[in-house]
Amino acid sequence: MALLRDDRSARGAMLYSEACRRLGLADPVMASLIERIGACSLRPRRGHFVILCDAIISQQLSPAAAATIYRRFTRLYPSQRPTPARVAGTSMARLRTVGLSPQKAAYIKDLARRFADGTIQPRRFAHQDNEAIIVALASIRGIGRWTAEMFLIFALNRLDVLPVDDLGIQKAVRRWYALKRLPGPDRLRALARPWAPHESLACWYLWRSAGLT
């Protein structure tokens, strides 16, 4: 099993290396950021249900507060493993004890029900395009397009996602492409054409560039 994981990791690193090479050739700004930041560390994440629970919990909270509430949430369940069936069977009152607002508790219950009743089937993700997954996830209360796009990038590692409404991306593009104002969706899509089909990687480097001087 360890050898299999190592092999997958090596193949993933090779995939990103080639994608970054092509991205750098297509866009000199990206080439500079890739050189300064180094290898991309995006890796697929398992546990799609808990990833989305975490995303709901984190909304409009500081990272520290979100992490505390998420830890309390996981401790409600055996082996700290919330499952859709377990969460669907948890009362709102019990969910509230970990610090969740009534609204977020309701969102997590809705998410659990959608997974438990088969409305959302993670096994289908590999056979669905980005937009189909976004539409499915955005039908869940508390999950919008931006959250679904982050899921595509950071959980599924889809390489061709461009979250045009992300403020961090907009600020980085204004900085590194010397724009006078934040780019709107259409301007950002036009500027990002050379990144295709590796928009997610470009966005990862733009997010990471925030600490560069």
Residue 118 Ramachandran class (φ > 0 left, ψ -120 to 50 alpha, else beta): left
- The answer to whether 209 touches 173, Cβ cutoff 8 Å, is no
Q: Is 166 a catalytic residue?
A: yes
Closest CA to 16 of 45, 32, 38, 47: 38
Give residue for tokens 């959980």.
Answer: 155
Running DSSP on this structure, what letter comes out for residue 193?
Answer: G
The residues, ordered by sequence, that sit 6+ positions from 6 with a Cβ below 8 Å of its Cβ are none
* Selected catalytic residue, list 27, 117, 166, 186: 166
Angle between helices 199-208 and 145-154 (to 10 degrees): 90
Running DSSP on this structure, what letter comes out for residue 67?
Answer: H
- What residues are labeled active site? 166
